[in-house]
Structure 1
Amino acid sequence: MTSQPAPPSPEQIRRAPKALLHDHLDGGLRPGTLIDLAHETSYDGLPEGDADKLGALIRQAADSGSLERYLKNFAHTCAVMQTRDALVRVAAECAEDLAADGVVYAEVRYAPEQHLERGLTLDEVVEAVNEGFREGERRAKENGHRIRVGALLTAMRHAARALEIAELANRYRDLGVVGFDIAGAEAGFPPTRHLDAFEYLKRENNHFTIHAGEAFGLPSIWQALQWCGADRLGHGVRIIDDIEVAEDGSVRLGRLASYVRDKRVPLELCPSSNLQTGAAASYAEHPIGLLRKLRFRATVNTDNRLMSGTSMSREFEKLVDAFSYTLDDMEWFTVNAMKSAFIPFGERLAMINEVIKPGYAELKSEWLFRQTAAEPVVSSGFIA
């Protein structure tokens, strides 16, 4: 198969099979759904009642550089996600939206402890979200799309329920939950506060990722790996601080960066979100470019689709524009993500060999056919 030497079109990017490891359920609501649920739950805190205008306001707040304004968006979304029906709807629409964007595998995370204000139990929250994901998968199939969604249960760094949430994740293992996560402010709330949860998960041979190296830097990454034993790094973009690039272009990796690359620790990179939080000034300056060249286990993710006004296709479009990535590069990122998923090895392998690789092969064949058809046929020295 001849590789595609030119960047793919937006249509090819959308059709390409994609795998997503880092996406927050409460950061991906449709603006219209947010408005509907606010009416249903009598929540009057939304700044706008028109879906398009509300979406624009939320994105502006996320781009403002104000953490207070950014976090306020989650106060809105969590406020309306307090009933079983709301959770089912949001989860179903999440699966539908991802599938329509060409995502074939997704791990979507949420914090059950943030959805208890109207009397739901932790178990009821998990069961509602799982029901929604299965419904969304069913609807996607009816529309000709294929997707599998697994849930990651998140504990909040500033709270004291990590072990309880870890036990919850283990209880619903193989029932739709594929792993565990911690999230929240890194500074002042190190992952080592929750060592009991991580030790429990390791004893149970369960999977977990840790938000680390997004805002706080290398110490957060080191703690997540060496103290807690994380399987993946949520973001991990600040590993770039342990990489030196000399004026002559030579690269030197520090010991932590070398460890991360040597151990093939997956990095759940979220380019648009990273720009909003100041990890890079532009897509062209995002560390993913260097990390790709150095062959770290880099993956591309959305983080919060509503807040960033993004999708997996948009993330890849930005990277294609910035780095002239081809379908080969997209396939590399996608296979990286699928290799790093928290489902069994055989299921990961089947997704790679039966869905992802054939999907990219088809797109490359189409491109080659179009190029060949567009070339003039030369016969006897004359162009026919």
Structure 2
Amino acid sequence: MSRAGFGQSDTVGHFRVHNFPQDASKPEPNQLKLSTLGVGTYLGNPDHRTDDLVAAAVIESVLNGWNVIDTASNYRYGHAETAIGSALDALLSGGAAQDFLQEHEYGSDTTRDMLFIATKAGYTDEAFVKRLVEDRVIARHDVVNGHCLAPAYVNASVHASLRRMNLATVDLVYLHNPAEAQLQTAGKSAFAQKMTEAFRALEALRTAGAVRYYGVATWDCFRVPPTDAGHLELEDVVAWAKAAAGGGASGLVAIQLPVNADMVEAWSEPWQSVNNESMTLLQAAEKLGVKVFTSGPLGEGDLVSQAKGRLDGVFGLRDLPATAQKLLQLARSTPGLPMVAALVGHKAQENVVGNVAISRISPIKPADFLQTINDVRTALGRKTVHPKA
């Protein structure tokens, strides 16, 4: 799976090269050139009108240089994946494998290996669960808080996702909010066992060629302090995946968590530990070789409403006219080697056009990021951030 042709003319830093592992027979790293912005598909009504809007937004995003696409099996009750399938059917009709960037312009021909597509498994659909229980694939008690980590469920969920997206292989499958749904109910020891078994199912899917990599998508567990009952150590997650892989290199390559002007814990708080050394989540990810995709750059719209008209004086964001653009640029510029892409959902044409325009400007320089985000937080009436690690 090579993406060496991506972005040869990318002079603004919209693409970054990341080393992902190959399979056991090819131990050399797989260099992927991925966009710093990715299209998400979370919000919206589960209807065909929204499907059309999402498909059009995915197509427009890809044609403007976004090659990261994120979804989940439960987003809009499966409609999100179906919409992505429609978009891929349209995008992949081109027959020529050309560089994504052509003389500083984005090419119109797209091939499957140009795209990095991620989905998630974990949250359940009652009709799907009922069928699996009737077929004795899973037991009713495997479902906890509307969530399931049973290996058979993970396997069935991934195959259902592949059918909806009309794909033979998906690049990345996250276990979807497993700690948020099950950690405190199960307890640490039982939860570790559940995660290891779910990872073992994902390893089997990798061997079968249905999944290239896997990870964990989260909301709270990597953003709360170790004293919180919902806290999860990334070092433990990596160890569980290694155990699932038989003690060798695993397919766990990424995590996802929210990062925005309000949610700064990933890079500001030393709440993770690696080899008994305290550090931030992004520092831990770098030490452990895990990539980071971030969600919620606009706070599901709440941040846009709060910040409207208040960020125009922020020096690092003056060139961007819209509030959403400013917030997206901020999230996309989060410094750190593990940082891959900020994921944002957009459907309305004016939002899509405004957001994809950011592809043509450089992210905020790491040396300027702290000042810029503190200027934003001051404008929003928040406390300034002083990283402790």
State whether TM-score is above 0.5: no
Which TM-score applies when normalising by structure 1? 0.43
Larger radius of gyration: 1
With normalisation by structure 2, the TM-score equals: 0.43
Higher relative contact order (CA 8 A, sep 6+): 1
Select the structure that is richer in helix: 1
